[in-house]
Structure 1
Amino acid sequence: MISKYRKQFNSEFSQEKYQQLKDILKQKSGIEPTFRISESPLFLTKEFENKLIDATESIIDQIKALPPETLQKAVPENCNVPNDTQKPHFFTIDFGICKSENGEIEPQLIELQAFPSLYAFQKVFEDTFCEVYPFLTEIRNKMPHEEFKNYLKELILGNENPENVVLLEIYPEKQKTAIDFALTENLLGIKTVCLTKVKKQGKKLFYENDGKLVEIKRIYNRVIFDELDKIPDLKTEFDFREDIDVTWVTHPNWFFKISKFLLPMLKHQFVPKSYFLHEFPDSEKLENFVLKPLFSFAGSGVNLNPTKEITDAIKDKENYILQRKVTYEPIFEDINGEFSKAEIRLLYIWRENDERPILLENLGRMTKAAMVNVDFNKKDAIWIGSSNAFFGEE
């Protein structure tokens, strides 16, 4: 979208520099990235950035205006965790990069979550792009690394000693996001702990470090609670639904409260119309909509072409939404003159005493397939995978 930077990047690009990018990421984290790293950043205009912020600010206003009991309806009874908080610590929001009917490039809301994304990784990723391509420094995120680090430290550590704060995940070494866990450990000095290794004594939780039990006072939670049921023979000493002496960052209930559940309630020109499946009106045509389960992660269960047979067969229709289709516009030109589509996730934190969340970073995902998921791309495709957006003037 910004031809000046796109031309410069494409002229400077080489497979050697791409390998250098991945090698530096591995060197900084100690881990090989297990998801595909895109060769290219996204170049987007300040005008597009303003549209993103305008839509997000409106959505935040609408969420803040919702009564707590409306949000509480999103939490399944069997997933309700005690000691809820008034607001989430994290707020992430995904937009597809689309073209409007009058030909303008505009964002369209895809989904939103109160769940931490790759905060530590994306900052390092942005830094690394700038190391390999120094001209990017002039349009990089204005927030200095130290300020970014301090925000996350304050949010995740609070006033606790780092050894009493853990990043909690289930089988973390098997997760695609393991590189972010390693970079978070480096940034904050905390340990990543598997849920199966947590010990419980009364209302307190502990983990083992060098043969000693260390109390857990704050949990940077990366476990998707409703997915635990799908893990066979899972044995843990504590259940999320127990009343324990720990501060959740962020509280597990917010995973449900800020989710696809909200989409039918939100209104904005950059928010596609959505309906709960059981409320889908006869006046709309099914072929214009995408079917999404309310509580799924990483695009699982999404049906781009739902039929009446498929929707009629669904028993729990209140747990699905239909969202009007949007068309991602292929505008990111690669070195072969082919174009990728993309979506962008804005990564906010929401401190307990702040009225509004603070934007820290962004995450881009590029594709040449119908869905923004690398698995759907041809094996030899380029300009696909995880990316980072840089905003500048045309």
Structure 2
Amino acid sequence: MFHATDDFDRQEVVAMKVRAAALLGVIALAATGCGATSPAKQDTGPIVIGMPIALSGLASGLDGPFHTGAQLAVDDINASGGVLGRRLRIVSADAKSDPAQSATAAQTVINQGAKFILPTVDYDLGGPAARLAQSKGLVSMTLAGDPRFGMLGVGSLAFNIGSGGPTEGASAASFAWSRGWRRPYLLEDTSLAYSQSFCQFFRHSWKTISGARAASIPSDSFLNGDPSIASQITRLKAARPRPDFVVLCSYPPGGAAAVKQLRAAGINVPVVGGVAFDGTFWLPTVPKERNFYAMGGGVITGTDPEPMRAKVFSEYRAKTGKAPVNGIWALSGYSSIQALAKAITAAKSTKSTAVAAQLERFHDEPLAIGPTTWTAQCHVAVGRPTVVIRMDKGREAYTATVTPKKIPQAC
């Protein structure tokens, strides 16, 4: 043991202890990355965005354009220097169009370093992945007609890039009323929450616009997998007063088969559908259709009147060699990346709570999909103007842009 023998020795011992403590402090700072060292690797590497989506199965026709749109935005942003000086990178995993596989696919991309999650474009199919992201403290974003994709059905870190069933239903009602149509007949596909919510919010909005009682709107139901809707068509044809338009709350392929059967039965009144019918992918079923109107995202065949949407569709054609088969899904992917990049930049961080706080400040934020608003109380982009597209013998024709005056409560 060392013994100090005089004041000088005692002062030297104190000095030695001070120098040792300082040295240990420097070592500790270096070990934790808090000293004057280079930034940690995770702060300079790519920002990884995970897409646990349907790479196979029924929903792959929707998630494919969603993924391509997201990659186009990543390419554009990286070409402009990235975000916070870092590149964006997408990793994906196949959820196989199966809700039971959604969370598993999400865990796969999280294991690959994903800090943000863009799941399948549907609440039923993408919700499990979003809920896993919520449990891990990660922001998720996708398009879903069911407004439960957001705070209601997922949590505080989930954002719906779509305007949801409330806006779709209100837009359909407003559009039909503006055309002078007064006698709707609803065909409701009960196989998904999306199709049910479209009918639900149409009823609510039609009641508000027309003053009619919701119970007075005639309706019938079917399932997407039903091989025939002959009995529903019989009841529709017998309805009095005779309906002057049909609201089809469904999605392809069953919804497309329903249109074919309606026309074959001589029912030629206008048919109005939601964003599930945005695109030309389902038109081979009814190649001569000219009286179907979809609440969509943009015109993919021809020239879209909005320059930002037209730019995305042009880039899509350049990247893939063909036009997207639908507009809303490609725009959703592109706009989700846009939104995350803007929020990360504003937050100066990839921390989920900081990014979410910036997303909640969006007010008519210009995105490719359209002006987008979220609040601390509502994570659904309610109220965005809706593009109405008429199907015209295998192509799309821009018809109108509708902004409903009143939208049912979404959050």
TM-score, scaled relative to structure 2: 0.28
Which structure exhibits the higher relative contact order, with contacts defined as CA atoms closer than 8 Å and separated by 6 or more residues?
Answer: 1
More helix by share: 2
TM-score, scaled relative to structure 1: 0.29
Structure with larger Rg: 2
